[in-house]
């Protein structure tokens, strides 16, 4: 019961702190909302592009040509045991020869084609690694895969990951600075109260708790505004992207439908975490108990 | 109740307190006197664990407070009442709320808060000023609010750091007499001051500090101005 009363007092102190902030609350929330909107936009775009890259990547496949005398079913079973292998399709030499005869006017020869496996992988990063493993199979004569395409897709994927980290890091740092400075001002304005509380034996969490919750409130408020902006942008831009841009691209436009919910959850989590974290860091730095 | 043994305190190699030994019993009333820079404030800060000694032991109520972790310091401070020279009242809170502030922060239920605050305000004779704000009170009244806040949690030890520094002589005497009455109810009271007339008028135990050392400790003493020069 005592702890519940203390918690309720902490909430009351948080509310008082926010009321005292007045218009400066909105200033902080606006700055944070801009940062989180940029972050959310970059995240959403990155996820959509990654989805496209991944879609292209999943269309890449490795063709493995088997030596004569090996059972294609058995080899296919062994290949399917490899990590990242999603699907192994067997093209028997007879079928391939028949197709060739149907499509091209070829001379009546003995079938020169080998049994072939078409191997689809879970992701584009695994193409080169899996190709290396297949080369070690004694049953496989030769393999073929689009090495340059795989490498380029990997580069795009790596660039997007690094860009995502850089943008997240930069915006988180900017957000931390804004929150930190705001909470520092709050600490200065409450210096007397903090000193009294500290000298009368009130627990540090009672003193720092309202400041941390205040920072978390800023982060949450900013995240909700950023979420609303992102929702509106998504609703406005999505039909345009599908109808206009993707009509030029040789792909199913549904691969860009990554959904907004994960981005909104990340924006909200990041907003609250950075808000609370920035306040906790500033409180720890400036309040010595 | 308060015991200091072989206390040394240094700042950047410069000595602020040297081999201080002191014992103040339960319910005792004592003045800690000395000129500016004698080490009074340093000694007070050691008692409420704002600082730790360089060497030696400080014991309050049998607990060695020099070994307390940071997490244990608030528990010590709940057993101390501290009165400040500048009162340290919250200007936007009423007298009642100033005194109740700490109790509420400690999770005391509101019925108990009301009972304890009213009792503390009655001791300092401010029961008719509960709804007033500090700025409407005189300096003496503000200091009484500070004292009410210090005693509201029923601490066994009351530390007053220059409590009369901002008050006129008559009000100063009233404040010290009030602290004496609180002491007579069983609270150990230690007042740091350089207010000679007050010390001389009270004829209580006087511990004199000079250059970080205790040079005299006299029951029913006076402020030995010459010795402290």
β-bridge pairing B14-24 and B80-83: unpaired
Question: Does any CB of chain A come closer than 8 Å to the CB of residue B100?
Answer: no
pLDDT tens track for B6-49 = 999 999 889 999 999 999 999 999 999 998 888 999 999 999 99
Largest Cα–Cα separation, chain B: 52
Q: Shortest Cα distance from B76 to chain A (angstroms)? A: 7
| Among B4, B169, B159, B1, CA closest to B83 | B159
pLDDT tens track for B54-92 = 999 999 988 999 988 888 899 899 889 999 989 889 888
Record: contact A201-B149, CB cut-off 8 A: no
**Residue A246: its pLDDT value, please?**
58
Same domain, A19 and A36: yes
Q: Which of A13, A17, A201, A284 is the best substitution to test chain B (most B C-beta atoms within 10 A)?
A: A201
CATH number at residue A104: 3.30.70.3040
**Residue A129: its pLDDT value, please?**
87
Q: What single-letter DSSP state applies at residue A88?
A: E
> What percent of chain B stands above pLDDT 90?
70
pLDDT band at A110, cuts 50/70/90?
confident
Tell me how many domains chain A contains: 2
What is the average pLDDT score of chain A?
84
* Global ipTM: 0.82
Question: Does any CB of chain B come closer than 8 Å to the CB of residue A19?
Answer: no
Same domain, A106 and A23: no
**Residue A197: its pLDDT value, please?**
86
Domain boundary among A99, A127, A145: A145
Is the pLDDT confidence value at A243 over 90? no
Is the pLDDT confidence value at A255 over 60? no
Is the pLDDT confidence value at A148 over 80? no
Name the residue range of residue A201's domain. 2-56+152-286
Q: Shortest Cα distance from B107 to chain A (angstroms)? A: 5
Task: For residues B213-225, give the mean pLDDT.
Answer: 85
Domain ranges of chain B: 1-79+155-163+194-229
Write down the residue that tokens 């919750």 correspond to.
A213
pLDDT tens track for B127-180 = 999 999 999 999 999 999 999 999 999 999 999 999 998 888 899 999 999 999
pLDDT band at A248, cuts 50/70/90?
low
Is the pLDDT confidence value at A253 over 60? no
**Residue A256: its pLDDT value, please?**
59
Task: For residues A107-117, give the mean pLDDT.
Answer: 82
**Residue B229: its pLDDT value, please?**
65
Same domain, A191 and A137: no
**Residue A254: its pLDDT value, please?**
59
Same domain, A7 and A74: no
CB-based burial label for A224 (10 Å; 0-12, 13-18, 19+): middle
User: For the domain B1-79+155-163+194-229, what is the CATH code?
Assistant: 3.40.50.300
Same domain, A199 and A276: yes
Distance in angstroms (rounded) separating the CA atoms of residues A194 and A214: 15
CB proximity list for B223: less than 8 A, separation 6 or greater: B31, B33, B194, B196, B199, B200, B206, B208
Is the pLDDT confidence value at A149 over 80? no
Same domain, A78 and A49: no
| Among B187, B195, B170, CA closest to B33 | B195
Task: For residues A9-26, give the mean pLDDT.
Answer: 86
Domain boundary among A100, A128, A145: A145
**Residue B42: its pLDDT value, please?**
93
What is the Cβ-side half-sphere exposure of residue B155, based on CA atoms within 13 angstroms? Answer: 29
Same domain, A133 and A174: no
Distance in angstroms (rounded) separating the CA atoms of residues A213 and A209: 6
> What percent of chain A stands above pLDDT 70?
90
Q: What is the DSSP code string of A128-167?
A: HHHHHHHHT-TTEEEEE--HHHHHHHHHHHHHHHHHHHHH
**Residue B204: its pLDDT value, please?**
93
Range of weakest confidence among A135-149, B93-107, B136-150, B207-221: A135-149
Record: contact A196-B102, CB cut-off 8 A: yes
Same domain, A198 and A117: no
Is the pLDDT confidence value at A257 over 80? no
CA angle B204, B39, B15 (to 5 degrees): 145
**Residue B159: its pLDDT value, please?**
95
Q: Return the structure tokens found at B76.
A: 């010590």
pLDDT band at A252, cuts 50/70/90?
low
Domain boundary among A145, A174, A194: A145
| Strand ranges (E), chain A | 61-66, 85-91, 116-121, 140-144
**Residue A65: its pLDDT value, please?**
92
pLDDT tens track for A204-218 = 888 999 999 999 999
pLDDT tens track for A61-98 = 888 999 988 998 999 999 999 998 888 999 998 888 88
Range of weakest confidence among A27-36, A116-125, B159-168: A116-125
Q: Which of B87, B107, B160 is the best substitution to test chain A (most A C-beta atoms within 10 A)?
A: B107
Distance in angstroms (rounded) separating the CA atoms of residues A124 and A126: 5
Same domain, A91 and A229: no
Record: contact B101-A196, CB cut-off 8 A: yes
CB A43 within 8 A of CB A230: no
Question: Does any CB of chain A come closer than 8 Å to the CB of residue B13?
Answer: no
pTM: 0.72
Same domain, A172 and A210: yes
**Residue B227: its pLDDT value, please?**
64
Record: contact B90-A206, CB cut-off 8 A: no
Distance in angstroms (rounded) separating the CA atoms of residues B112 and B94: 18
pLDDT band at B119, cuts 50/70/90?
very high
pLDDT band at A288, cuts 50/70/90?
confident
Same domain, A33 and A71: no
**Residue B228: its pLDDT value, please?**
64
Same domain, A115 and A249: no
What is the average pLDDT score of chain B?
91
Question: Does any CB of chain A come closer than 8 Å to the CB of residue B222?
Answer: no
Q: Which three-class secondary structure state does DSSP give residue B169? A: helix
pLDDT tens track for A150-203 = 677 778 778 888 888 888 888 888 888 888 888 898 888 888 888 888 888 888
């Amino acid at each position: 019961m005592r702890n519940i009363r203390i918690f309720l007092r902490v909430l009351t102190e948080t509310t008082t702190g926010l009321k005292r902030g007045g218009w400066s609350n909105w200033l902080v929330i606006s700055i944070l909302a801009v940062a989180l909107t940029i972050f959310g936009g970059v995240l959403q775009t990155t996820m959509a592009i990654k989805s496209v890259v991944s879609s292209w990547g999943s269309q890449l496949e490795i063709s493995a040509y088997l030596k004569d005398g090996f059972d294609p079913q058995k080899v296919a079973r062994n290949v399917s045991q490899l990590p990242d292998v999603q699907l192994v399709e067997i093209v028997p030499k007879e079928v391939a020869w028949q197709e060739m005869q149907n499509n091209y006017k070829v001379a009546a020869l003995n079938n020169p084609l080998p049994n072939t496996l078409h191997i689809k992988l879970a992701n584009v990063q695994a193409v080169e690694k899996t190709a290396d493993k297949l080369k070690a199979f004694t049953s496989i004569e030769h393999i073929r895969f689009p090495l340059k395409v795989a490498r380029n897709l990997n580069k795009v994927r790596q660039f997007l990951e690094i860009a995502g980290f850089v943008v997240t890091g930069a915006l988180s740092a900017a957000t931390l600075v804004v929150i930190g400075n705001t909470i520092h001002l709050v600490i200065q304005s409450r210096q007397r109260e903090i000193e009294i509380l500290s000298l009368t034996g009130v627990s540090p969490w009672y003193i720092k708790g309202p400041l941390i919750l205040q920072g978390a409130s800023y982060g949450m408020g900013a995240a909700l505004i950023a979420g609303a902006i992102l929702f509106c942008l998504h609703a406005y831009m999505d039909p345009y992207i599908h109808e206009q841009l993707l009509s030029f691209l040789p792909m199913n436009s549904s691969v860009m439908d990554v959904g907004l919910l994960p981005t909104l959850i990340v924006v909200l989590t990041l907003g609250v975490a950075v808000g609370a974290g920035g306040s906790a860091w500033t409180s720890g730095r400036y309040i010595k108990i | 109740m308060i015991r200091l043994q072989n206390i040394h305190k240094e700042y950047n190699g410069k000595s602020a307190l040297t081999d201080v030994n002191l014992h103040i019993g339960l319910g005792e009333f004592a003045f800690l006197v000395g000129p500016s820079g004698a080490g009074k404030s340093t000694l007070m800060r050691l008692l409420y664990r704002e600082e730790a000694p360089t060497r030696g032991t400080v014991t309050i109520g049998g607990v060695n407070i020099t070994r307390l972790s940071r997490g244990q310091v608030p528990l010590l401070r709940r057993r101390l009442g501290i009165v400040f020279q500048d009162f340290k009242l919250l200007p936007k809170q009423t007298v009642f709320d100033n005194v109740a502030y700490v109790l509420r922060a400690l999770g005391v239920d509101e019925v108990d808060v009301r009972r304890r605050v009213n009792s503390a305000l009655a001791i300092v004779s401010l029961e008719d000023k509960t709804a007033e704000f500090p700025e409407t009170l005189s300096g003496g009244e503000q200091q009484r609010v500070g004292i009410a806040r210090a005693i509201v949690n029923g601490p066994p030890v009351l530390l007053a750091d220059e409590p009369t520094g901002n008050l006129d002589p008559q009000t100063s005497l009233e404040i010290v007499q009030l602290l004496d009455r609180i002491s007579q109810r069983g609270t150990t009271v230690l007042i740091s001051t350089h207010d000679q007339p007050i010390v001389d008028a009270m004829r209580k135990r006087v511990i004199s500090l000079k250059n970080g050392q205790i040079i005299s400790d006299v029951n029913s003493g006076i402020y030995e101005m010459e010795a402290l020069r």
